[in-house]
Each structure stands twice: as structure tokens, then as C-alpha cells.
Amino acid sequence: MSKTSTRREVLTARWIVPVQGEPIERGWIRRQGETVVEIGSGSPGTEATDFGDVAILPGLINAHTHLEFSMFDQPVGQPGIQLADWIGQVIAARGATTVAQRVSAIRKGILESAKAGVRLLGEITTPPIEYPDIDPSVLDFPLETIHFCEVIGLSAQRSAERFAAAESHAICDGSNSGPTQLMEHAAISPHAPYSTLPDTIDRCVRWSAKHRRPLAMHVAESPSERELLINGTGPMAESLKRLGVFDESLFPQATTSKKSPFVELINQLSACHRGLLVHCNDLRQSEIDTLSQFANLSVVFCPRTHRHFGFDRHPVAQMAKSGIKVALGTDSRASNPDLNLWGEVQFLLNHRTDLQPSSVIAMATQNGADALGRKDIGRITVGSQPGLIKVATNASSAEQLYRDFATGGNPVCIG
């Protein structure tokens, strides 16, 4: 459905899942164009389109992905591969691709995401890169993308070059407004604490705060990252040496707490406008406690990528208990079999029974939208424009509904 459509319609189904609030049995949604104007239960009192035995949900939010790696048909490396080894293989594969091939991969990833019912992507962009022009009419869904321009480098020169490239990518061409106007969906991403200078991280944090744009950063992705930061040793250190970028003056990092470099990093990132800490596979309770103090910081968990690397059990339950907002992402096809965010939902529903099913659905919708600063999507509320998906179910209770979500088929886009 076009964003400019003013068509009025009422949709009914066995279940409506607004996310903000309990699932509504025999519910209905009234909308004008894409905007929800009313929701309720029982008879809507007017002619309606009945979708039957399905649950209607808001479109999904993929808070973290790398579309340029959609060229991979299967994850890189065998399950349990060391992250450091995986990084080396991915860098080599990317270096062998052309710009045209990367643009083609991005197009493939966009189409796959839209088909999977994703309403918004938190996309890591490696400028300079071109994005394909895709006619919205060929998409299954009204998909939007936030471009997190990646800043990476362990030398002052490299860092300055990548920051300048990020700023250049983020700036509009000036045809409609001033030449310093930022793109509507521009954001920034200092890559990781093992690949970005602390001063550059500060620079990215200041940029985020100044322009009121979100910031994303890979944090505590593996135990080898912690070993590098604390001791300057381990698989990550060896990987940096193989790449020719290891600097003994940077690792180990001089921190006030040798036991937890991530506490200092979290405090550093808290000065940004809105921050997404990606993966956080190796965060410990003291670090989770620190993170929980900052309402502007969220975690993005990529469950099937976590499984690919064989990491220890993710502390997502402790995060949720601490009040941290956790969103879901797919990472990329370099670490995940596909970009189907519903696959992440089903993985958690089937493997993390310590999580409330309703909270898992929130991770795939509302939490991601909030983390990315979009209160208008990720939930079905009056005034929202969530895009709608449907999932087959004949459940007669909310408990059975979530069981159907865990074992049933993929979502189908309504629009």
C-alpha cells in the first residue's frame, strides 16, 4: 500500500497483537492509508476484511544487519569458528568483490528483508558505497533503512579518513536544502573497541549528540575481545597482527578497571543521543548493571549469529531483568543462514524458555523501533504506521498463540 493512500479499511483476525498490551482475541484494526486510527475487539460495527485464522502483528524491526554481505549463500566458516578467524575470511571475501557486486548484494538483502516483513533496518554502511534504486512497488513491504556509517581504524590517519567518509555519506546533496543537511536516515557506527581509536569513539559520540542521531557499536562480541583489551593477547590480538594493524601502544588498554574495560566504554557511549550496543555476548553482571543506568542505550542481540560462533549462553535474560531494552538483529548472511528476523524470534521462543514470549515479540518490534528512535512503528497503536504482517494460528489462548509462533510458518506481509 502506498504511503500516500487515504483508503479507509477495517481488518479483523483471530488475534491482533498490538505489542503494547496483551494480544486481542477476535480483534480488529481500523486504518486510513497506513495510519492506524482505532483498534478494538468484538464487532467493528462496519464492513471489514476478515483475515481469518491468523494473528496480525506490526512489521518487524531488524535493528542490526550488514546488507553488503548478502552475497553469501551460507555463513562463513564452520559452526564454532573463532570470531577472529571469521573476520579475516570476511575481509578477504569482501576485498575480492566489486562495487557492482556489493550493490547487487545490498539489493538482494533489501528484497529479502522486505519479503520477511521487516519494516525498518538498522543497516551498517561502509562508505563509499552505492545503494540501488528500488521501485517501492516491487517491495513486499514499506521498508525503511537507517544508515549507520561505519568508522573504523587503529591509526589516526585511517580513523580520520573513515570519519570523513562517514560524514560525506551522511550529508545530502544540497539540492533541496543546505549542503550540510544530513540525510533523514543518517547515523554513525564506530565499529568496535578493538578496531576504533578511543578518541574516534568520542568523536562519533559527539556527532551523535550534536545531530541527535543514533549510534551503533559492536561491543563485547566475544571473550577474545575482552582478552585483547585487558591483556593485549589472544586470538583477536593475533588476528590484528596478521592484518598488520596491531599497535602495542593501544593494547592492552589503559583503563581504570583492568577487570572491566566495558564499564568505561558504556559510560563513554552514554553521552550519545541514542546508542545501540550490538551483540554484547560477553557482558558480565557488573557491566549489565552499568548499562541499565542509561535509558538511551539499548542492546541488539543476534541469536542465530550467536549460535554460529558457539558462544556461551547469552545474558539476554539478565539484561531484560535489569530493565535494559533488548532488540533483535540478523547481523548478516556471513554469520546467519538468512535475513529472516522471524527466524530469530522462533529461535528464542524454542531455545530460551527463560524469556517471556511476549518480551521476545517486543524485541523484534517495539524495542528495535524505540532503539532506533521510531515511536511510530513497531507497535499497533492509534497514530502508528507499523506496516502489518500476519502469522497463521488457530489458537484459542495467548499461550497457544505463542506456541504457534514458535512452531509455525513465516509471516506474510499485509502492508
Q: Which domains does the chain have, with CATH numbers?
A: 8-56+384-413 (2.30.40.10), 60-371 (3.20.20.140)
Cell, residue 207: 556527532
Determine the average pLDDT of the residues in 340-344: 98
Asked which of 27-41, 134-148, 225-239 is least confident by mean pLDDT, the reply is 134-148
Q: What is the pLDDT at residue 112?
A: 96
Alpha carbon of residue 390 to chain centroid: 21
Residue-wise pLDDT for 104-131, tens only, equals 999 999 999 999 999 999 999 999 888 9
Q: Is the pLDDT of residue 147 over 60?
A: yes
Q: What is the pLDDT at residue 5?
A: 55
Determine the average pLDDT of the residues in 346-352: 98
Q: What is the pLDDT at residue 325?
A: 98
Give yes or no for a contact between 141 and 59, defined as CB atoms under 8 angstroms apart: yes
Q: What is the pLDDT at residue 255?
A: 67
Give yes or no for a contact between 380 and 19, defined as CB atoms under 8 angstroms apart: yes
Residue-wise pLDDT for 220-252, tens only, equals 999 999 999 999 999 999 999 999 999 999 999
Cell, residue 327: 532488540
Give yes or no for a contact between 18 and 381, defined as CB atoms under 8 angstroms apart: yes
The pTM score is: 0.95
Q: Is the pLDDT of residue 203 over 70?
A: yes
Q: Is the pLDDT of residue 399 over 50?
A: yes
DSSP letters for 308-323: HHTPSPPTHHHHHHTT
Strand extents, DSSP E, 89-185: 118-125, 144-151
Task: Provide the β-strand partners of residue 41.
Answer: 27
* pLDDT class of 256 with cuts at 50, 70, 90: low
Give yes or no for a contact between 330 and 65, defined as CB atoms under 8 angstroms apart: yes
DSSP 108: H
Give yes or no for a contact between 186 and 151, defined as CB atoms under 8 angstroms apart: no
Give yes or no for a contact between 106 and 124, defined as CB atoms under 8 angstroms apart: no
Query: How far is the C-alpha of 394 from the C-alpha of 374, rounded, in Å?
Result: 31
Q: Is the pLDDT of residue 23 over 90?
A: yes
Determine the average pLDDT of the residues in 67-85: 96
Q: What is the pLDDT at residue 102?
A: 94
Residue-wise pLDDT for 273-326, tens only, equals 999 999 999 999 999 999 999 999 999 999 999 999 999 999 999 999 999 999
Cell, residue 129: 558505497
Q: What is the pLDDT at residue 4?
A: 45
Give yes or no for a contact between 404 and 392, defined as CB atoms under 8 angstroms apart: yes
Q: What is the pLDDT at residue 1?
A: 37
Residues 6+ apart with CB under 8 A from 252: 228, 229, 230, 231, 232, 258
SS3 label, residue 21: coil
Give yes or no for a contact between 289 and 320, defined as CB atoms under 8 angstroms apart: no
Diameter over CA atoms, the chain: 71
Average pLDDT, the chain: 94
